[in-house]
Amino acid sequence: MRHFLSAHDVSDLNQLIQVALQYKAHPLKDQQLGKGKRLGLIFLNPSLRTRISTQIAAENLGISSMVFNVGGEGWQWEFEDGAVMNGQSAEHIKDAAPVLGQYFDMLAFRTFPTLTEKAKDYSEFAMKQFVKYSRLPVISLESATLHPLQSLADLITITETNSIQKKPKIVLTWAPHIKALPQCVANSFAQWVNKWNQADFVITHPKGYELDEQFTHGAAIEYDQDKALEGADYVYVKNWSSYQDYGKVLCKDDSWKMDQNKWSLTNQAKIMHCLPVRRNVELSDEMLDVEHSLVTQQAGNRVWAAQAVMSEILQSMKS
């Protein structure tokens, strides 16, 4: 593995999940693997889980890590080649990324979509420019369209909690929100579950919230949320803004909120969310503060996901 930007960078998902679970059982077993290596975590956007879990994972592998919040601490970056930089941006990615390439052995980068420039967001323009100019292995800490470390942690969580014999029924349900949010987590979860191919996978959302088919292909799309939830073993709750009417909030219908009544339709489903969550907007308190909520476990598993990915990259740097 040279980069970790999407499910496409992983040849065997189950093998990577098992590597992560081994780290969960024995966090310090490879403490020499990253000795002498430096990881730079570069954030254009805020984070709690991604930032801290990736740093802990690095420490477990003996890697020293540094965080740089470009937005809050550094010069604003320009990403367009050939730009006349007479606006707010003081430093070009073409200059900043190679400098980071001099300081670190591996980089991790978070950027969010514009939610106004669909073609640019879906070309992963900022992430590609970062990869191109840094010339180092790059781990996505969330990009314009995907959040692969989150999705890996989600599959680790499903793997370790799935006690049923048959394929689990996993439902990704849209939920209301007051703001326009990226499609990243939903796209990524769909991409990973489809590639995993070990679940009956249903996506439910109001009309107008269809995700990009390159990620959802393989899943059943059901516009009736109650019907989708019937017999579900896992319910992943997430808001996203419209992909078709790009970045728009088309619906705030509170009846899509996951609550006890909705849950009663499921097979005592485990509830998942990537966090942060707007309580009692996306889903009710009672869905989060109960035994069948996996949200804290998912966030905890972010450490093992990041550790598994970094160990794979370190191994490939050796060969």
Rg (CA), the chain: 19
Instruction: Indicate which single residue of 1, 274, 295, 303 sits in contact with ligand CP (rule: CB under 6 A).
Output: 274
Number of residues interacting with ligand CP: please give it, by CB under 6 A: 9
Quote the CA–CA distance of 27 and 294 in Å, as a whole number.
21
- The 31-50 contact track toward ligand CP, x by CB under 6 A, reads ----------------xxxx
- Residue 309 CB, nearest distance to ligand CP (Å)? 14
- Residue 55 CB, nearest distance to ligand CP (Å)? 12
Tell me the window of 83-91, 163-171, 198-206, 271-279 that interacts with ligand CP (CB under 6 A).
271-279
- Residue 110 CB, nearest distance to ligand CP (Å)? 8
Quote the CA–CA distance of 173 and 237 in Å, as a whole number.
5
- Residue 319 CB, nearest distance to ligand CP (Å)? 30
Least Cα distance to 274 among 294, 291, 289, 260 occurs for 294
Q: Which residues of the chain form beta strands (DSSP E)? A: 38-43, 64-69, 77-78, 91-92, 106-110, 138-140, 169-174, 200-204, 220-222, 234-238, 270-272
- Residue 48 CB, nearest distance to ligand CP (Å)? 4
Quote the CA–CA distance of 309 and 306 in Å, as a whole number.
5
Quote the CA–CA distance of 100 and 122 in Å, as a whole number.
25
Residues in 144-163 at the binding interface with ligand CP, rule: CB under 6 A: 150
User: Any idea what the Cα angle at residue 140 is, between residues 145 and 217, rounded to 5°?
Assistant: 40
Tell me the window of 1-9, 70-78, 125-133, 272-280 that interacts with ligand CP (CB under 6 A).
272-280
Give me the residue whose beta carbon is nearest to ligand CP.
Answer: 50
H/E stretch holding 104 reads: none
Task: Determine if 56 is a binding residue for ligand CP (CB under 6 A).
Answer: no
Binding-site ranges for ligand CP (CB under 6 A) = 47-50, 142, 150, 274-276
